[in-house]
Structure 1
Amino acid sequence: MPVDGSEHANKAISIACDLAQKYNGRIALLHILADGKNAADLLELSVAKSFSPKLTQQLKLAASNSSQPAPENVLRFIGEKILEQAKAKVIRRGVEVEVLPICSGDPAETILMTQGKVGASTIVMGCRGVSDTKQSSHGSVSNAVFSKATCTCLSVK
């Protein structure tokens, strides 16, 4: 289950837990660094309220300069927070969870490669990620995953 802190990914956690409980499964959480993402988008994530004032100020400064993406150390910290919160939600539901190391790279390819490595029978993910554009019903990452995946995929909106 890829998690990026978006509203749809957060909703997908509940669905993934339902499936894991029903079919005696486990959840492997994956976070891919949001390389090049606009800092303003990151301030909109549900985890943003847990950011320190210093981190919030760093993101606001980066957001004020639209050409400046968030620095990698900030992205990594945000990824850790996202994984921490997702893991807590899964544990509260009584589902076995594995937190995979934070990755970087093309999100769709990384999701597909990780699915193969962990042997996941299902990919549950939000239909849209951090950049919530309205161009189609699914984001470009979920479209790419669904078109190339060899396992069951579930999109949550």
Structure 2
Amino acid sequence: MHKILIPVDGSVHSIKALRIASDLAAKYQGRLLICHVLLRGKDASDLMALDVSGQFDAPLHKVLNKAVSANLGPAPDKILHKIGQIILDHAAEKARGHGINFETLPILSGKPADAIVKVQKELEAATIVMGARGVSPSDSSTFGSVSQDVFSRASCTCISVK
């Protein structure tokens, strides 16, 4: 079965990439491998700007709003894990709606590009479909730094979605 790795970070581009990966999986009887790399270094305002922030419950919104007001800096891992699970659950719901074969992987840690390339190799994914840009801004006009790094190092077909 054709394995398609789809890293999701809650950004608009990653959600678009998920739709395209789902279409590919449906057309070619593939299996989606949905992954998320912990958003370390992101502060509360970055997290509140995620496309999936509407999925956050009231207590999480309260904590993030307080952190934004106090300018507390990067969010703690406990919050990042909770948000990561929301992102994965949202992606799984979208994949389920497409009626395709998929698996959500445990939340990954480390540098995003390193984690994505490592899991692609370990699981022998034949394709990576990911957003051209994620949560972080990029100086590049076409790709974000993570997608650019992944595409240059991955040993499989890579599809960028903008």
TM-score, normalised relative to structure 1: 0.95
| Matching residue's letter, 1:33 | L
Deviation at 1:134, TM superposition (A): 5.4
**Counterpart residue identity of residue 2, structure 1:** P
**How do 1:1-157 residues align onto structure 2 when only pairs under 5 Å count?**
1-66=6-71, 68-133=73-138, 135-157=140-162
Secondary structure in structure 1 of the residue aligned to 2:7? coil
- Structure 2: which amino acid aligns with 1:52? D
Identity %: 49
3-state DSSP of counterpart to 2:40:
coil
Tell me, in whole angstroms, the C-alpha distance in 2 between the residues paired with 1:88 and 1:102.
17
The one-letter amino acid paired with 1:5 is G
Q: Tell me how far apart the structure 2 counterparts of residues 20 and 30 of structure 1 sit (CA, whole Å).
A: 16
CA contact (8 A) 2:8 2:35 kept: yes
Alpha-carbon deviation of 1:67? Answer: 5.2
Q: Which one-letter code corresponds to 1:25 in the other structure?
A: G
How far apart, in 2, do the equivalents of 1:60 and 1:156 lie? 30
* SS of equivalent residue, structure 1 residue 46: coil
Q: Distance in 2 between matches of 1:117 and 1:133?
A: 28
In structure 2, how many angstroms separate the alpha carbons of the residues matched to 1:89 and 1:76? 20
Q: Deviations over 1:84-111 (max 9, x none)?
A: 0100111111110111000110100100
Question: Are the aligned partners of 2:11 and 2:52 in contact in 1 as well (CA < 8 Å)?
Answer: no
Q: Which moved more, 1:107-116 or 1:124-133?
A: 124-133
Amino acid at match of 2:19: S
Report the alpha carbon displacement of residue 64 of structure 1 after superposing the two structures with TM.
Answer: 2.8
CA distance in 2, matches of 1:50, 1:67: 22
Q: What TM-score, normalized to structure 2?
A: 0.92
Write the letter of the residue equivalent to 1:94. Answer: G
**Number of matched pairs:** 157
Cα drift, residue 6 of structure 1: 0.2
- CA shift at 1:76, angstroms? 0.4
